[in-house]
Structure 1
Amino acid sequence: MTLNIPDLARLMIDDAVKAALLEDWGRAGDITTQATIPGDARARAAIASRKEGRLAGTGFVESACRLTDPAIRVELLAHDGDVLQPGTAVARLSGPARSILACERAGLNYLGHLSGIATATSLFVARVAHTKASIVCTRKTTPGLRAFEKYAVRCGGGANHRFGLDDAVLIKDNHIAVAGGVVRAIERAKAHAGHMVKIEVEVDTLEQLREAMSAAPDAVLLDNMGPESLRSAVDIVAGRALTEASGGIELGTVAAIAEAGVDLISTGWITHSAPVLDLGLDIEID
């Protein structure tokens, strides 16, 4: 499987890593390292995976090292999107020992968190590989980290849903209630949105889906429907719009949902509940 992984702007990464370093160092810096490690000591270190998973976030390790001390040399041995086994070496570091120790946690925090998301995504992707369905993320992300977490989803083989409230119209049940009905909500959206903006509408019954399709949305979000209802929904849509299944998606059920013939399966679990992938740094004083 060839992954389509976008580039993350170095400026974005640096800003996030700088904030993490300042948070960690506080007012006086790494007082433990300063007290125990001579200022001229040099070290080599290796970052390796302790569990099986999918890698994401190597750029954050590079940034943490560079912002802490340009004298730290980073050699990447694996790349974002790579499959990891226990013991897989991800990077080698060399340089001033104090500097390596001072930036270790900030770099590993991002690396473990993003690799955990990539790993969780890859598990879902594997379960639906025999179907046409794509696994997509949601806006259920950590505040301030959305772009990075959505990047990690791509590293795991998934795809991105909208990034925010401003890049697509997604009409949900509360919008429909206030607007006075699903057709009226879609018509108002079409009158307001620009020609480049896609319109998706959430429905939770087949009757509501039929009503929505009369207004020709670009996509329909089929909320909390089981496989049988989803198959019926796909037949109703008949290729006139993208079909997205959502709501309570789990590893144990995702294959059956994909087999119903939907185009997309969205899950917030891969970003808001994915466990951190255990990666560690082992250091050796020269």
Structure 2
Amino acid sequence: MNKLVLDDVLRLSLIEDVGFGDVTSEAIFSEAHFSQGFLLAKQDFILAGIEVFTRVFALLDDRVKVVSYYADGTSIRNGEKFAVLEGPTRSLLSGERVALNFLQRLSGIATETRRYTAATEGFRAVIVDTRKTTPGLRMLEKYAVQVGGGKNHRYGLDAMVLIKDNHIQAAGGVFAAVQRVRNQVSPYIKIEIEVENLEQIGQALEVGVDVIMLDNMTITMIKEAVQMIDGKALIEVSGNVTIERIGELAATGVDIISSGALTHSVKAADISMKLQS
């Protein structure tokens, strides 16, 4: 993770939540009051973002110390105390929500990604994310996908060529869209195209592309597409990708399974921060 970018994201999050100060904690506790606490798992999950959690407090008050018993990628069990922290009580309470929000969301993404990757065991297909991320948090959410065992698709529009349905429609077809790309970009840049039917697959093969994305196709159509493409391009499937469908999608012989659900609708992990008197 780019630490300069990370610090900017975390500072903005603290400003949003803390504002001009935590009026409740400052009214109850003096600056000299210190506390100890711990992080408690309230479900099984894959840990992701413990360094982000720690960095929130470092930016808020460098007197706060966080010690995690585990690194990102570790399976944490329900009921386990997996980290301890200590420092000024005001700072612990002021940073609690922001730090937990990041830790819970990233751990939730890593946990769901691990479920997806486990469902592809024995197949060649790899699980990848999409650009359907929370605005401003893409770097962190894509990091969490990696922690869960998945791979990252393009980070942004400048990362690679991906010709989608609206490109094809506005350009006047597959041939026109691909040719315009070839006339503009370096020959060293790979070209991926999204197709919706077998006719478009034939056109993509004729014009020559590196990756063909099968969008919202049935299992029967995907199997036909795999035979039709026959190794001439990498095959990605996308659209309506759920954990229940991962196994049958992987079994078709595709190379890549992409899912926006890994980041846009995942449930945050249930984690609590508890202070001790």
Which TM-score bucket, shorter chain as reference? Answer: over 0.9
Task: Answer yes or no: is 1:23 the counterpart of 2:8.
Answer: no
Counterpart residue number, 1:95: 87
1:115-126 alignment runs, 5 A limit: 115-126=107-118
Tell me which of 221, 227, 238 is aligned to 1:229. 221
TM-score, scaled to structure 1: 0.93
Tell me which of 33, 36, 47 is aligned to 1:55. 47
Alpha-carbon distance in structure 2 between the residues aligned to 1:226 and 1:126: 22
Alpha-carbon distance in structure 1 between the residues aligned to 2:221 and 2:77: 39
Secondary structure (helix, strand or coil) at the match of 1:117 reads helix
Identity of aligned residues (%): 41
Alpha-carbon distance in structure 1 between the residues aligned to 2:17 and 2:102: 13
Counterpart residue number, 1:13: 6
Tell me which of 149, 163, 172 is aligned to 1:157. 149
Alpha-carbon distance in structure 1 between the residues aligned to 2:37 and 2:7: 22
Secondary structure (helix, strand or coil) at the match of 1:214 reads helix
Alpha-carbon distance in structure 1 between the residues aligned to 2:103 and 2:23: 24
Alpha-carbon distance in structure 2 between the residues aligned to 1:197 and 1:59: 34
1:143-222 alignment runs, 5 A limit: 143-222=135-214
Counterpart residue number, 1:4: none
1:196 positional shift: 3.1
Alpha-carbon distance in structure 1 between the residues aligned to 2:28 and 2:199: 70
Tell me which stretches of 4 or more aligned residues in structure 1 moved more than 4 Å.
none
1:48 positional shift: 2.4
Deviation by residue 1:90-144 (Cα, 9 ceiling, x = unmatched): 3211121221111111100100011111111111111111211111111111111
TM-score, scaled to structure 2: 0.96
Q: Number of paired residues?
A: 277
Tell me which of 26, 33, 56 is aligned to 2:25. 33
Structure 2: gaps spanning 5 or more residues:
none
1:59 positional shift: 1.8
Alpha-carbon distance in structure 2 between the residues aligned to 1:159 and 1:250: 17
Q: CA RMSD in A?
A: 1.2
* Deviation larger for 79-88 or 255-264: 79-88
Please tell me whether the aligned partners of residues 137 and 153 of structure 1 are also in contact (alpha carbons under 8 angstroms): yes
